[in-house]
Amino acid sequence: MMKKIGKSVFAGAIALFVLAVGISAYDVVEPNERGVMVTLGEVSSGVLEPGMHFHVPFISRIQKYSIVPKGMNANFSVGKDGAITKDMQTVGSQVTVFYRYDDDRIMDVVTKYGDAILENAITRSLVSCVKEAVGKYSIYELVENQDKITTDVSKSLAARLSEYPIEVTQLTISNWDWSDDFDKNIKETMNRTQQVRQAEQDLKLAETNAQKQVAEAEAAKKAAEQTAEADLMKAQKAA
């Protein structure tokens, strides 16, 4: 009796093991993913489209790559890493870029590149593109030309990264920054501008007051003349 129970338990364990192995032999590639078969550490298939795929347990596996855009940030400090405007001012900014793997070149991602290499390529290209775009404008023109600079950087970055299996989907530039010395110059300029405007307003007020006084004097003179004329007419009638 015990032998039969032992055999049944052993058979059940074997069945469960076989079932688990059978289930693990299949893997699902989601709609927003692409996969490749890796056998004993080597890529052994082309790109696997979304769906269920078979692989040999313990020998091969399916490595998946998401094609959903992912973002990375690049910060440009005001110091030596900053961009230089056409009026020779150093500025910094924060740039966020979103990119995704090219569906048709997933094999290049797997066999030639990796996340580290691609991110390094994006960062290097981004630095060059931003500095090139910023160099076309003065520091005073950056904010008002924000959209155009962003568009130019996006196009330039896409061109520089065309050899890599990625696609730039979105780019934003924000948080423009500049040196404390330039910030001080801006404040001094604003103060001087305010002083000039105040002086102009004071001058206009003085001119208005002067014109008022002249008008009042002319009105008083005219009134005096009219009074004198009226008195003369009265005297003539009395005579």
pLDDT higher at 231 or 58: 58
Query: Where are any strands of DSSP class E within 40-179?
Result: 42-48, 51-54, 60-66, 70-76, 83-84, 90-101, 166-178
- pLDDT category at 17 given cuts 50, 70, 90 is very low
Which residue, 79, 111, 110, is CA-closest to 92? 79
What pLDDT shows up at residue 174? 84
**Per-chain mean pLDDT for the chain:** 78
3-state class of 18 per DSSP?
Answer: helix
What pLDDT shows up at residue 84? 87
Return the domain boundaries, the chain: 2-66, 70-178, 187-239
What is the model's pTM? 0.64
CA–CA distance from 19 to each of 29, 39, 51, 54 (Å)? 21, 22, 21, 14
pLDDT higher at 207 or 92: 92
- pLDDT category at 140 given cuts 50, 70, 90 is confident
pLDDT higher at 35 or 158: 158
Could you report how far apart the first and last alpha carbons of the chain are, in Å?
Answer: 163
Percentages (nearest 5) of helix, strand, coil residues in the chain: 55, 25, 20
DSSP secondary structure letter of residue 140: G
What pLDDT shows up at residue 97? 94
Q: State how far the Cα of 72 lies from the Cα of 118, in Å rounded to an integer.
A: 11
- What kind of architecture, by CATH, is found in domain 70-178? 2-Layer Sandwich (3.30)
* Burial classification of residue 34, based on how many CB atoms lie within 10 Å of its CB (0-12 exposed, 13-18 middle, 19 or more buried): buried
Which residue, 146, 135, 207, 144, is CA-closest to 172? 146
pLDDT higher at 98 or 223: 98
Choose the weakest-confidence range: 33-37, 142-146, 212-216. Answer: 212-216
Q: State how far the Cα of 77 lies from the Cα of 175, in Å rounded to an integer.
A: 11
